[in-house]
Amino acid sequence: MSARIVGNSALTTFDVCIVGSGAGAGPVAYLCAKNGLKVLVLEAGPNHFDHLDDPNQQPVPEHAADELKFQVRSFIDVDENVDPRSWRTSTANEREAVGYINNLPKHVGGGMVHADVKMPRFEVQDFQMGTLLGAKVQNATFADWPITYAQLEPYYTYAELALGVQGKMGTNPFEPPRTADYPMPPGVPMYLSTVMKTALTSSGYTAFPYPTAVNSQPYDGRPACNDCGYCSDYGCAINAKGSTAVTMIRKALLTNNVLLLAETRVTKLVMNGAKDTVTAVEAIDPNGNVQQYKATRFVLAASPIEDARILLLSDPGGPGVGNSSDMVGRNLMFHLQTASVGIFNDRMHGHRGRTVDHGFCDWRGDASKYDPNDASTALGGIVEISGSERPINEAQYYAQIMRAILKFDSVLFKKMMRQSPFRDRIVVMVMQAEDAPQAINRVDLDPKVVDMFGTPAPRITYVNHAYELAASDYRGKMFVDVTDSNNKGAIFKNAGARWAAVTPRDDIPASAHVMGTLRFGTDPAKSVCDATGKLHDIQNLWCSDGALFPTSSGYNPTMTICALACWVGANMVNPTNPLQALT
């Protein structure tokens, strides 16, 4: 096991204490540390990187392209038996399920370590959905962001450089304005991407290289991707993936201004008598002992669900810390993902490559033209083009199918594995559909379910809005065999797939795109945090992750989380001139 205590262990007093170490935490830690502040990072999960703070060599990860280790033995997944969540679709029910509810991994680097780190930016309109959609979508809480795309653009650019993002400016006709190209050019496309790009062009769509924080060439001391195919759900064995662990967290540690404590689970904010200032955080150490850690300022970046849970746990019997608006935990969003599968006669070789290296944005739409009575105007999102299952997962699928329709047949099973329709002959396309924010979709504390330490578990109340269901229904058909109202052709049909279908929706979303719960805005009565990420009600507490999002967009959220965390960190360092903190 890699070191639990990383960084400058001589530090005893801290200017900033950050809860979490993922996409929302790394940028704040780095910007504060590089500007001379002393930073304490508390991470609930373990550290899987040796030499993370060693200036003389690159970190050595405990990760590997090992399906047994990650998919069967759950090396980085949260154990639902000791860290459960509960789920319900209505407040009329106490709970409908308990277990793994769209959890993100808990370990140094957070969810970016296991993700395939697709990093598109949001569009300009995505920051204005309150103005554009607020009056059009009933029973939703669309709101404008308190900052604009133009304000965030320099922080997007800064984060792309720090993480190492590959892509090509100008290839996506729907991309927002950029002040610089990506730090790296796109890598070599997968064979299936070249096939699908041709089909998309003939269907009237524009495919482009998907921006990803994966090195296409040696970058910042880390090697180029070797296209092993183990990006999504796996940590990178060679550090070609630019997770915050090996980029911003590492750079923060190398300033000698940071102490990182892994396996330290924050459960409570200790408040002053007026409940307007945090005096310390309370956490459980690896031995089960309760410890307190003090700092001048505190940052929540543990994921939207855990951020809300900590605020609620910190005010037993009350509404929750920072919750004068009754908005803590509300407006929880998961992207509704519309997935389709095509099976081809030819081998598509989707088991090698970066999981996703191409996509298209033609289905995002124009919010100003949205008409709830016209399905063709429904706002979709970016579409990812990806490949196959891996051998163990593939084998499990075949076994499940056989047992569902007939008894297990070993001869047929071997034939299926040799022909490999679910691995070597498959193409998958997934659309990220924007979730309409709803006040009823929320996080609170389950009155009966607890984790291994007896701490109340988060309870998720969530149901999809008709807004995103309409977009999913309309666009999903166009994957397979339907031409849209603008005469753009069905994609899989034009690609020559032998068989295609839209897959059933998950009963419980598993997108790993978790947003909302601590919405930021200008009105303290309608939001939890202000435009800089500081909680309205608390003098020295900020949030810096996806919990701030008022709306979810139709794009992968990680790039925007990182840019927003840079914005929050820069404003903490230099409120009068935050851009100066980047230099």
Residue with tokens 């069967």: 72
Dump pLDDT digits (tens) for 478-524: 888 766 656 566 888 889 998 888 988 888 888 899 999 999 999 99
pLDDT band per the 50, 70, 90 thresholds, residue 408: confident
Exposed/middle/buried for residue 135 (C-beta within 10 Å: 0-12, 13-18, 19+): exposed
Segment 85-101 shows an average pLDDT of 94
Comparing 401 with 366, the larger pLDDT belongs to 366
pLDDT greater than 90 at residue 468: yes
Predicted local confidence at residue 546, as pLDDT: 98
Q: Among 83, 79, 76, which residue's Cα sits nearest to residue 61? A: 76
Dump pLDDT digits (tens) for 49-83: 999 999 999 999 999 988 888 888 888 888 888 89
Q: Residue 364 is encoded by which pair of tokens?
A: 């995002």
pLDDT band per the 50, 70, 90 thresholds, residue 404: confident
- Give the type of residue at 70: F
Dump pLDDT digits (tens) for 351-364: 888 889 999 999 99
Q: Report the alpha-carbon distance of residue 79 to residue 100 in Å, rounded.
A: 8
Predicted local confidence at residue 484, as pLDDT: 62
- Give the type of residue at 413: F
C-alpha distances in Å from residue 301, one per residue of 29, 249, 288, 561: 11, 13, 22, 10
Dump pLDDT digits (tens) for 220-239: 999 999 999 898 889 999 99
Residues in Cβ contact with 204 at an 8 Å cutoff, skipping those fewer than 6 apart:
362, 486, 487, 488, 489
Q: Among 500, 481, 477, which residue's Cα sits nearest to residue 376? A: 477
Segment 181-193 shows an average pLDDT of 96
Q: Report the alpha-carbon distance of residue 277 to residue 252 in Å, rounded.
A: 26
Q: Decide if 42 contacts 17 (C-beta within 8 A).
A: yes
Predicted local confidence at residue 406, as pLDDT: 72
Report, in this order, helix, strand and coil percent for the chain, each rounded to 5. Answer: 25, 20, 55
Predicted local confidence at residue 175, as pLDDT: 96
Predicted local confidence at residue 162, as pLDDT: 98
Q: Report the alpha-carbon distance of residue 144 to residue 332 in Å, rounded.
A: 16
pLDDT greater than 80 at residue 182: yes
Q: Decide if 464 contacts 336 (C-beta within 8 A).
A: yes
Predicted local confidence at residue 1, as pLDDT: 58
Domains of the chain: 5-388+424-582 (3.50.50.60)
Segment 258-264 shows an average pLDDT of 97
pLDDT greater than 80 at residue 389: no
Q: Residue 1 is encoded by which pair of tokens?
A: 């096991």
Average pLDDT value over all residues in the chain: 94
